[in-house]
Amino acid sequence: MRLVLALAFTVLFFAVAALGVGTAYALYRRPQLAELSQRVHAELTAQASPWVPLSQIQPMLPRALLATEDNTFWTNIGISFEGIARSVLIDFASGSFVEGGSTITQQLVRDQLLSQRKTIPRKLEEMVLAIALTRMDSKREILALYLNQVYFGHGAYGIAAASRVYFGRTPALLDDAQCTLLAGLPQAPSLDDPLENPTAAHRRQAEVIGAMEAAGGLTRARGRALLAQPWQLR
């Protein structure tokens, strides 16, 4: 156990050092970071899908998403040291680089600016850019960008498309059960597609609700009620 902890702290030390060195790189990529919003809007236009501001998204959805994907989103610097340490331990135990530990901000810059290759250099690049983006944009802007571009499965990129494809309604009219379902899809959208694999989707929804209960965002009684509520898929 001591060896594992020593390894985790060693990796964290070098990660922090790399982030310091990466400041110049972040400045080099700053124009691309500044254009993230335009990139996402252009993608939505190409898909004939509207931009949806946070004010027009049912509040349960971002709450459920953050409880599951990034529970320190509102306070972190773009990366989560706890998440990094946890992913290092998982990688060490599995004997392979399975990644994980990415914040919402890291996922956004990876999806828009980087490749999906699971390598340490790309992971460090992702961390540097996430910190830089957090310094440039507000948390609400970053969350809105993420929700408007992330893949929810079944050909649906962005929350407007996902709400339409799965439920035939706008994001503002989603009910709480539908929100907890959608919040779990970005992790494995093809595997958890509720139209193709409702059993897996329900299992993933239960994980989302469990995360919300653990964070104090839902009572257990309310969580059980949401799990029993029909999704009303199209």
Q: What is the mean pLDDT of each run of 10 residues along the chain (234 residues)?
A: 55 56 60 87 92 97 96 94 61 53 92 86 89 94 97 96 97 98 96 96 98 95 97 94
pLDDT at residue 138, rounded to an integer = 95
- Return d(Cα 174, Cα 185) in angstroms, integer: 15
CATH class of 2-228: mainly alpha
> For residue 103, which amino acid is it?
T
Q: Is the dihedral of CA 121, 73, 139, 43 positive or negative?
A: positive
Q: What is the pLDDT of residue 115?
A: 82
Residue 230 makes CB contacts below 8 A (sequence gap 6+) with: 177
pTM of the model: 0.84
Q: How far apart are CA 162 and CA 185, in angstroms?
A: 10
Q: Tell me if residue 54 falls in helix, strand or coil.
A: helix
Contacts 24+ apart (CB under 8 A), 79-82: 79/103, 79/105, 79/106, 79/127, 79/130, 79/131, 81/12
- For 121, counting Cβ atoms within 10 Å of its Cβ (0-12 exposed, 13-18 middle, 19+ buried), the class is exposed
The Cβ of residue 118 has, within 10 Å, a number of other Cβ atoms equal to 13
What pLDDT score does 80 carry? 87
Instruction: Select from 130, 213, 226, 212 the least CA-distant residue to 178.
Output: 226
Domain ranges across the chain: 2-228
Rounded Cα–Cα distance for residues 118 and 97 (Å): 7
pLDDT, residue 116, reads: 81
Q: Are 128 and 19 contacting, i.e. CB atoms less than 8 angstroms apart?
A: yes
DSSP-based three-state secondary structure for 186: helix
